[in-house]
A and B are shown apart, each in its own frame.
Chain A
Amino acid sequence: MSRIGKIARRSFLIGSAAIAGGVAFGIYKIRTPYPNPLEDGLAEGTASFNPWVLIDRERVTLITPHADKGQGVMSSQAALIAEELDIEFGQFDVSFGEPDKAYWNTAMADEAVPFMSTDESFVAESMRSAMGGVLKLLGMQGTGGSTTIPDSFDKLRRAGAVARETLKLAASQQSGVPVNQLKTANGAVQLPDGSELKYTELAATAAGIEPVTDVELRAPDQWRLIGKPMQRLDIVAKSTGTMDYGIDLRIEGMVHATVKMNPRQGGALRSYDASEAKDMRGVWKIFPITNGVAVIADNTWRAIQAAEAITFDWGSAPYPAEQDAHWETISKSFSEENLDSRWRDDGDVEQALAKGEVVSAEYRAPYVAHAPLEPLNVTILVTDDAVEIWSGHQLPRMLQQIVASVTGHEAEQVKFHNQFIGGSFGHRLEFEHLKQAAEIATQMRGTPVKLTYSREEDFAHDFPRHIGMARGTGAVVDGKVEAIDLQVAMPSVISSQMGRAGLSIPGPDSQIAAGSWNNPYNLPNYRMRAYRVPELAPVSSWRSVGASANGFFFDSFLDELIQAAGADPMEERIRLMGHDTSRRVLEAVAEMSSWGGELAANKGRGVSFVESFGTPVAEVVEITNTDDGIRIDKVWVAADVGQIVDPVNFENLVQGGVVFGLGHAMNCEITYSDGMAEQANFWDAEGMRMYQCPEIFVRGLENGDKVRGIGEPPVPPAAPALAAAIFDATGQRLREMPFNKFVDFV
């Protein structure tokens, strides 16, 4: 079937949502830029050149609208502006800014269209462009999908260049020196006589000039900052305990709140008894909210203690109470009526399976909590004509709309101050805690409230990564992998997540297939079918989303076939690879790890390759099978993002992604009993600890022709590479995470 035919059948997630929401548009509207939000109420003598640069007599402020949850993007966004603006770290202030349509994410379209990221055909590029138009009309400001750098790379450099050229024009007007004799450096325009005009001295003049938009971006050999190690703007604060996260905020007159929600998520509150809790010291109020109870106190600990002292009668969960029933539902979903989409059908799988040696296997990936270390928290003040919120969030404009719908205000009346976030992994895409805070603050009108979740409440309401199952059948012929027929069944994470935000998303969910269908191998016969499981427990995007499970399914099954063929896991992947940039990633990791050398008898190695969010990543894991269990010794990683912005942060994020992927594969899952998550704290879902952390060697490649993100892509290859290494050392093939159900780790 032609690409066009497939597109029509699949429709578009966000495109359809936009149309259902009544958005009508023409090409003119798409091309028209949004007004610059910094122009609103601009003080006299202050110049705002575009939505990212603000200069007054005192200071230069750069607006970095993408949320920073640890991935360091406040710094990298600022670096992209500063590169062209000719200003150094330490010479400017930085702000997350206020939510605005002007900050719509130009890169989210790539994940929203049903094309492989390696597909650069006219049709694929046209559809990305069209989807970009839809996202722009929605004013979709968001951080996620490893899009911050792809979204920002050209846009923010251009913002810096526009400001620089406009400042030069202002300097020319002030000094009488022609623009072509002016240079810029260190936050100032330099005149031929050696004197300089600081940008702040030019603000008043620049404010009266129409920005110069005819600018050219500098060639890479002229870059001062990009590609070179930089000191993150937040690193001193984060190393001295002086970083204020949302949970650390204190607003004048603020009270402390916590909630206890029905642990059977979505179930009702039938009744509660707070007779003991209400008399506890420091407790001011206890009142019901939707599906739960809020406690207001003068101290967070007192609020949490009081919440623990309340007894509840909870309603039942709107999903199966026991974990086995979840698996059973998934197992039954490999049916024609649940077919969400056939994402790939190359060659003739049926015919190939009839000819070769056939291998079949079933894989499972559990629910997994995000569990960032900073528990959910929101500080909020509701008054008659405004709502003010301090919290960290990845979707600030949707946040305004959702909070406004709870408090009865207009979205424009919701003032949102984004905060540095103590980890997210997708957790801060959710809105439930904000809805609860909005309900509480509406009842506490005029009083600022800080809602803090206890760790146990955070686990109970994490909205974990979706559960999933895969069935693979494949064939090997003459020592080669000849065919793969992979079927994957999962609930739709996008539908669950957007459903809570009040959006109905029609069309197939690409995340059921992401990480399985889109690896750029030239398999002679490859069919990938995705089945949508009816919603079970509510689920949410978890670092690398669909690829977090699919990478494990696809790559592990490929590994099984390679083993059945008697081929070398690295060589066969390289032979099958149909994408040059990806092949070079595999070749790099082979070279780094000296693949193919002799190993001690109790050691094993596995390789994995998964492409997610357009970033190809290959990992080699080396383990030792000790008398006490598996020890992970070393990991080698190669990844290609086209252009690395900061090599230090790049290495840190890759290492962290590997630790995240390995840790959860080792020992994390969320299971349900009596409708409630059985895991309540880090004792139950531990992740990786220092003593388990391997040496991790990282190489960043820049062969790709698009700039890609690195926040998520190192995660998916970790689990299959570990499973392959364990197989290599022990002969035991692990087909279900977490692996500690089957092997011990030291």
Chain B
Amino acid sequence: MRLTVNGKTHEVDVEGDMPLLWVLRDELGITGPKYGCGVAACGACTVHIDGVAVRSCQVPAADVDGEITTIEGLGTPGALHAIQAAWIEHQVAQCGYCQSGQIMQAADLLTNVPDPTDADIDDAMSGNLCRCGTYPRIRTAIKSAAAKINGA
């Protein structure tokens, strides 16, 4: 099976029903996407397939039909994506375990809705659970990133 992750192609030998999350984490060593629930209830595993946010714990490897982007491919410490920069500026993270998923979900939101309202943010982000309760900062960071992207 061939998967393209963050622009790099990998050949993997896995069962077709192995969730993409575990292919990424345990077969390819790409650990930015997190295991939180395994049932699409928390969003910590969120990655993009052809730019669309998906719960990688629910996507069987055999069903992957596009290029995968994980948090590591969105931006790096040396070359931050605007959303990551906003997350840093507003010091969103506490434990940080959900934040890879939050950021990938927010990136999908801003692609589709460049200037989101509070209701847009609620709709897009409510599937991503944060047990530390950083929601107020996530909301602020999304608006701040949107302003920066739109102003650029």
Contact = CB atoms under 8 A, between A and B. Distances in A.
A374 B96 CA distance: 10
A420 B34 CA distance: 14
Interface residues of A, number: 66
Nearest to A663: B133
Nearest to A654: B133
Contacts of B19: 301
B77 A423 contact: no
Given A236-B88, A256-B26, A373 B94 contact: no
Interface stretch (A69-77, A84-92, A725-733): A69-77
Contacts of A682: 36-37, 39, 41-42, 129
A371 B132 CA distance: 11
Contacts of B72: 240-242
Interface in A219-246: 231-232, 234-245
B96 A247 contact: no
A371 B91 contact: no
Query: Which of B42, B75, B84, B95 has the most CB atoms of chain A within a 10 A radius of its CB?
Result: B95
A300 B26 contact: yes
A491 B133 CA distance: 28
A6 interface: no
Interface in B16-66: 18-19, 21-22, 25-27, 29, 31-39, 41-42, 44
A250 interface: yes
B147 to A, nearest CB: 18
Interface string B57-100: 00000000000001110111100100010011001111111111
Contacts of B91: 231-232, 235, 648-649, 652
A356 interface: no
A69 B94 CA distance: 8
B104 to A, nearest CB: 9
A625 B94 CA distance: 32
Interface residues of B, number: 61
B146 interface: no
A449 interface: no
A365 B118 CA distance: 33
Contact of B133 (A72, A304, A660, A691): A660
Contact of A695 (B38, B76, B136): B136
Given A71-B94, A299-B22, A374-B97, A655 B137 contact: yes
A371 B136 contact: no
Nearest to B73: A241
The prevalent SS among residues of B at the interface is loop
Given A656-B134, A683-B41, A690-B128, A373 B36 contact: yes
B70 A241 contact: yes
Contact of B26 (A243, A299, A689): A299
B95 A652 contact: no
A652 B141 CA distance: 13
Contacts of B134: 652, 655-656
Nearest to A452: B35
A455 B34 CA distance: 12
A469 to B, nearest CB: 27
B95 to A, nearest CB: 3
Given A422-B95, A652-B91, A300 B22 contact: yes
A569 interface: no
A423 B136 contact: no
Contact of B84 (A240, A304, A423): A240
B117 interface: no
Given A238-B99, A373-B95, A652-B91, A423 B38 contact: no
A455 B39 contact: yes
B133 A659 contact: yes
Contacts of A247: 31, 34-35
Interface in A450-479: 452, 454-456
Interface string A280-322: 0100000000000000000111101000000000000000000
A478 B147 CA distance: 57
A7 interface: no
A142 interface: no
Nearest to B31: A248
B7 to A, nearest CB: 15
B29 A250 contact: yes
Contacts of A630: none
B75 A240 contact: yes
B75 to A, nearest CB: 6
A544 to B, nearest CB: 14
B2 to A, nearest CB: 19
A14 interface: no
Nearest to B119: A691
Nearest to A68: B95
A664 to B, nearest CB: 10
A373 B93 contact: no
Given A374-B97, A657-B133, A231 B88 contact: yes
A421 interface: yes
A682 B91 CA distance: 26
A693 B136 CA distance: 7
A250 B138 CA distance: 30
A425 interface: yes
A681 B37 contact: yes
Contacts of A237: 77, 96
Contacts of A659: 130, 132-133, 135
A687 interface: yes
A18 interface: no
B135 A693 contact: yes
A696 interface: yes
A648 B80 CA distance: 21
B136 to A, nearest CB: 5
A372 B131 contact: yes
A677 interface: no
A244 B100 CA distance: 12
Given A655-B133, A683-B41, A690-B135, A240 B96 contact: no
Contacts of B107: none
A645 B12 CA distance: 48
A373 B80 contact: no
B111 interface: no
A689 B100 CA distance: 17
Contacts of B18: 299, 301-302
Interface string A636-660: 0000000000001100110111111
A461 to B, nearest CB: 16
Given A300-B35, A301-B22, A683-B39, A422 B97 contact: yes
Contacts of B138: 690
Contacts of A300: 22, 25-26, 35
A688 interface: yes
A373 B84 contact: no
A515 interface: no
B9 interface: no
A229 B34 CA distance: 29
A121 to B, nearest CB: 37
A425 B88 CA distance: 24
Nearest to B18: A301
A510 B147 CA distance: 50
Contact of B34 (A70, A240, A374, A693): A374
Given A423-B95, A454-B38, A240 B132 contact: no
Interface in A236-286: 236-245, 247-248, 250, 256, 281
Contacts of A695: 136
Q: Which 6 A-B pairs have the closest CB atoms?
A: A241-B32, A659-B133, A70-B95, A422-B97, A238-B96, A241-B71
30 contacts: A231-B88, A231-B91, A232-B91, A235-B88, A238-B99, A239-B80, A239-B93, A240-B32, A240-B71, A240-B80, A240-B84, A242-B32, A242-B72, A256-B26, A299-B26, A301-B21, A373-B42, A423-B132, A424-B95, A452-B35, A454-B38, A455-B36, A659-B132, A659-B135, A682-B39, A682-B41, A682-B129, A690-B122, A693-B136, A693-B139
